[in-house]
Amino acid sequence: MVTMKILIVHRVLMTDTECTDAILISYSVKTSNQVKTELYLQTAGPEGQIILTDTEDASKADKQTITDYGLHESEKRADMPAAVFAPLMGTSITALKEMSANIPNSNGWVTRYYLLTSNSLGGCPRITEIGLKCSSENEPTIYNVLLGQIMVIDAAQLKDSMTQVTDLTCQDITWSPPIISPNQFEGLVSICITVKWKYAGDASHYDIFVKGVTRSPNENIELSVYEPVFVGRSHSNQFRICHLLVPQKTEKHTLEVMVLPTNKAGFQAPLSSVSTVKVNYS
């Protein structure tokens, strides 16, 4: 067994976070080689300090209890003297990646997720401190640790991510020739649309997509009319699409507008399940 040496403990923040049922915790980190990082939670309960380790056991990936939130509960390491929990893996992390656009796993960044119930927290509903422990087998003289976003959220927001917008409408539609180089875009026409909707949840923002265009509005490249294209982001319940180039058809054609909400926790439903509205024209 390799003994890891604690290099330093970084207190990241003092908090007074109340946990009623289950919490989803995540953090992103980028480290130099051979440096191990573990997030710790200081609680006011009998468990005291809870360690969220970076050690994974793939053989136990989908063997933990599945919670009401569709994810496995984080494994409590039985071989550790303290309350130590392993990150989510397997189908749970796959599901989280499908729901989140904010999981950086490139350029050395790694994001780890943990789902803890109130029992995992020793029945204590309050976290008082969050920090980071760094350790290494061979203590280096210099090491780098970049700590990204830390999230401690109510796991119920996982269910909220499936809530879609309602009463989606297209208003104030106007048509015109392409405003730039009309000859270059022969066979295309420019459309402007105001999109409005309602949303029962608490959204961080809304991403707007369209289908039915043959040229990207952001890059001068050709597209399939069946390909969803991102056209903008809104922080309110309406968005104005301006001068979108669509095929000028003599027969019936359809432009499909989609609105994808992202909740405060950064989660969203699959694009295939979002609310849509169609504009038929000829």
181 phi and psi angles, rounded to 5 deg = 45, 65
Phi first, then psi, for residue 271 (nearest 5°) are: -60, -30
Instruction: Identify the pLDDT of residue 61.
Output: 59
**Residue pLDDT, tens place only, 103-150:** 555 678 888 889 888 777 766 668 888 999 888 777 656 778 888 888
131/230 Cα distance (integer angstroms): 37
Which pLDDT value is given to residue 65? 64
In this structure, what token pair is assigned to residue 101? 């656009």
Q: Give the pLDDT confidence score for residue 63 in this predicted structure.
A: 65
Cα separation, 110 vs 206, whole angstroms: 26
Candidates 112, 152, 159, 168; CA nearest to 268 is: 159
Comparing C-alpha atoms, which of 86, 13, 85, 9 is closest to residue 50? 85
pLDDT in tens, 30-65: 887 778 888 988 887 666 788 888 877 666 656 666
pLDDT of residue 1: 44
Amino acid in the structure at residue 122: G
SS3 content of the chain, % helix, strand, coil (to 5): 5, 50, 45
Residues contacting 139, CB < 8 A, separation 6+: 5, 7
Reported pTM: 0.66
Contact call for residues 208 and 241 (beta carbons, < 8 A): yes
| 115 in Cβ contact with 7 (< 8 Å) | no
Tell me if 7 sits within 8 A of 135, measured CB to CB.
yes
pLDDT tens for 175-200 read 888 776 656 667 788 889 999 999 98
Q: Please report, for residues 25, 68, 134, 263, 276, the alpha-carbon distance to residue 111 in angstroms, rounded to integers and kept in the order given.
A: 10, 23, 16, 19, 32
Euclidean distance between CA atoms 40 and 49, whole angstroms: 7
Determine contact, residues 149/13, Cβ cutoff 8 Å. Answer: no
| Token pair in block for residue 34 | 């051979």
